[in-house]
Amino acid sequence: MRTWAVLLVLIDAMAGDPKVTVLSEGKAWLENLVMEPSSDSLFMSELKMGIVWRVRGYANGTYSEMPWLDATSNLTRVLGLTKDVAVPNVFYGVGEYHAQNVVYRASTLVPNNFTIIATLPSSTLGNGFGCHYASGKLYTASEGNFKPKTGSVYEIDPNTGQVTTITTALWAADGLWIDQDLHLLYVGELFTSAVSVWNISGKSAIYIGKLQGFDSTLDDFTLGLNGSIIVGCNWIGDHLMSFNSELTNHTISPSVLVKSGLVHPTSARWGESTHAGAPFPTTAIFVTEGRARDFALKTKNDRLLRIDF
């Protein structure tokens, strides 16, 4: 059941900015996050420090955090996170481990408990990351060396570790999201902000088109359950934007969804909890920031934000 369609349409039509609340701060480039509604938690990656944090919410409106995969894990960079709803107590991630670009599986119950399940090509550090629930396959996008035709997309079988190349022809492939109902894989390019779309319902991914025509630096994004609206992070523009994901009109005109209170947003995810007093409700978007434009810096001024509509 696609319950967010009406919500997204209402949000897109709202005037002014919604409420922005800081849940965590003092981090060095937060890159991505994944929800864990069964424990009222989310996990978020601090790219520069190689740490995955667990943030837990409580019914009284407070939140706590703890390093979940810390420095002892030897993950030197951590980026995309995702989960398979059919595999409980687990999340998946991409990052760098002993100078190799890897895909790993981690426990949501025990800190620093993870297993490397696949290795990506040496020039490919995974970034955007998602799971196709129907097949259990994982998909990751890599920015490559930030030059045209070096961005890539890969499919990973978490059971065998097999890595299959989908494309190596994008420019700084970054954001990635999967429409689970229509079996569509969306991958954004950071510098062109074009969004390429593949059908992944069969044995191999089939390219079906591209959304393009807007001027922004599209970082990671999320898709409404109705499959028609994308909410994405404009990294340089310091705001969230939304646009129609349907390929009937390939040239799109995004609208600004949240225009203030953000600094270099990197990832956006809807909450997934529906119970009363849920700390990560479906009516809120949770956003990470990565504000140091000098990638060598480990400036600890980035935040996790809750945005209520």
Higher-pLDDT residue of 55, 258: 55
Residue 98: Cβ within 10 Å count: 9
Confidence of residue 229 (pLDDT cuts 50, 70, 90): confident
The CATH code of the domain that includes 294 is 2.120.10.30
Q: What is the share, in percent, of the chain residues with pLDDT greater than 90?
A: 68
| Domain span including residue 143 | 5-308
Q: What is the pLDDT of residues 145-188, one digit of tens each?
A: 777 788 999 999 999 999 999 999 998 899 999 999 999 999 99
Q: What is the pLDDT of residues 245-275, one digit of tens each?
A: 877 666 767 888 888 889 999 999 999 999 9
* Numbers of helices and strands, H then E, in the chain: 1, 24
CA 280 to CA 57: how far, in whole Å?
A: 7
Cα-Cα-Cα-Cα torsion 111, 115, 121, 123, nearest 10 degrees, comes to 20
Residue 285: Cβ within 10 Å count: 23
Confidence of residue 294 (pLDDT cuts 50, 70, 90): low
Q: Pull the structure tokens for residue 76.
A: 């030197």
* DSSP, residue by residue, 41-98: EEEEEEGGGTEEEEEEE-TTS-EEEEEEE-GGG-EEEEEEEE--TTSTTEEEEEEEET
In Å, the largest CA–CA distance within the chain is 49
User: Considering its fold, how many domains does the chain have in total?
Assistant: 1
Please say if the pLDDT value at position 233 is more than 90: yes
Mean pLDDT is lowest, of 130-134, 188-192, 284-288, for: 188-192
* DSSP, residue by residue, 172-232: SEEEEEEETTTTEEEEEETTT--EEEEE-SSSS-EEEEEEB---S-EEEEEE-TTSSEEEE
Structural element, H or E, at residue 101: strand 100-107
Angle at 186 between CA 239 and CA 253, to 5 degrees: 45
